[in-house]
Amino acid sequence: MTDSLPDLAGQRAIVTGANSGIGYFTALELAKRGAEVSLACRNADKARAAAARITEAAPDAAVHAVQLDLASLRSVRSFAESWSTPLDLLVNNAGVMYPLRRTETEDGFELQMGTNHLGHFALTGLLLPQLQAAPAPRVVTVSSLAHKQGPQLNFDDLQMTGGYLAPLAYANSKLANLLFALELQRRAEQAGSALTSTAAHPGLSSTRLFSSPDGMGSNPLLRALATVSTKVLLQSPRRVPARPWPRPAPRAVPTPAPACSWSPAVPRNPPRCPARPPTRRSPHACGRSAKS
């Protein structure tokens, strides 16, 4: 991964969930390449500890620890409002997987959909002006091949109140991640924006996603097994392969058109998009503005 990164001196990046796993090593490599990196984590103490480890490994790194709880839209808005400078890179990485029981976010959304997708959706929308102010902004959303387990989003019960299956809820959140990344790129192109939106599948990696007490690790036995087995069976998050980083040629950023802007307000039950209904072969997220 490190060989594919260019010199990032002078660029600003935000990585969510950067206190451990893939987020931590992403932040570390970005910092080594000269980027000013903000570690946006729910636990501020863990974020500060991660920032200290990065500074120890890269003494010249510019690293900041910032509190951000993606399961709280209030926290997301507060974080976004505190960011006033141009933003070159946003890595939507944080996530939760397989809580044994249906759990809700502060705002009443199913925890996996609310954290993995809706929190990042709102964060990206609120930071869009800062992204558009950068010469060649990029949004990377970490999805997963697990999205194939959820072939179509059920907009009539997106929060799975009618019957909860943790693996399906996770798959739905990863499908939503992927659809969001694709739609954001489509709207950016339509608006003539310099923004690039990509999605990534990191593969099965030994991260705290498997042992987090908010997810699968809420079961003490599974948490203990995951702590040991993932290190043996899965790849290290440090070694996650990556495609070469294609840096887009800087170009003038026009005034953002309505096609590349939206309200981050998320309805509890998003309506179906009448213009392009989803099918089993080609599911999609509703592309209507929340203001319409």
On the CB side of 272, CA atoms within 13 Å amount to 13
Whether 50 contacts 19, CB under 8 Å: yes
3-class secondary structure, 64:
strand
175 Cβ neighbours under 8 A, 6+ residues apart: 143, 147, 150, 153, 283
Amino acid 35 reads A
> Backbone dihedral region of 183: left (phi > 0), alpha (psi from -120 to 50 degrees) or beta?
alpha
- Measured CA to CA, the distance from residue 246 to residue 192 in angstroms comes to 19
Which residue is catalytic, options 24, 98, 164, 170? 170
- Tell me if residue 170 is catalytic: yes
Question: So which residues are the catalytic ones?
Answer: 170
